[in-house]
Amino acid sequence: MSDIAKYLIDFLVYIALGAAISWFFFYLRRLDLFGGFLGAAAVALIGSILGAFLLQKPLKFIIDSMQNGLGISNVNIIAALIGGVTSVLLLSKINNGRKRKDY
């Protein structure tokens, strides 16, 4: 597999994680997020990429001990989830953690 295909798969995994995190907070937790679902997805995508880069070294021991099933391509799933969830929680705190109203 070429390097471009590997990077594309990695980016698609980050997009899927960002969308899943956004879906959880926007539809299940029903938080009123700035920019709605797409705004939260963009923030979660950026947060998951930053979290994966910043937490790669500290979480390396945990990932090495649980290697089977947690690494998709070159993406550190745990670090990306921590970064994405943290960024969407910060986005929610900016909006004072309000719940969405049904109209």
According to the model, what pLDDT value does residue 80 have? 84
Picking from 18, 21, 30, 15, the residue whose alpha carbon sits closest to that of residue 95 is 30
Query: Which pLDDT tens digit goes with each residue over 13-61?
Result: 888 888 998 888 888 888 877 788 888 888 888 888 888 888 877 777 6
Specify the 3-state DSSP secondary structure of 75.
Answer: strand
Backbone angles phi, psi at 31, to 5 degrees: -85, 145
pLDDT band at 63 (very low <50, low <70, confident <90, very high): low
Query: Could you tell me if 97 and 66 are in contact, meaning their C-beta atoms sit under 8 angstroms apart?
Result: no
Distance CA 52, CA 76 (A): 6
pLDDT band at 68 (very low <50, low <70, confident <90, very high): low
According to the model, what pLDDT value does residue 26 have? 82
Reading the block at residue 30, the tokens are 């029903």
Cα first-last separation, the chain? 49
Query: Which pLDDT tens digit goes with each residue over 88-103?
Result: 888 888 877 677 666 5
According to the model, what pLDDT value does residue 49 have? 86
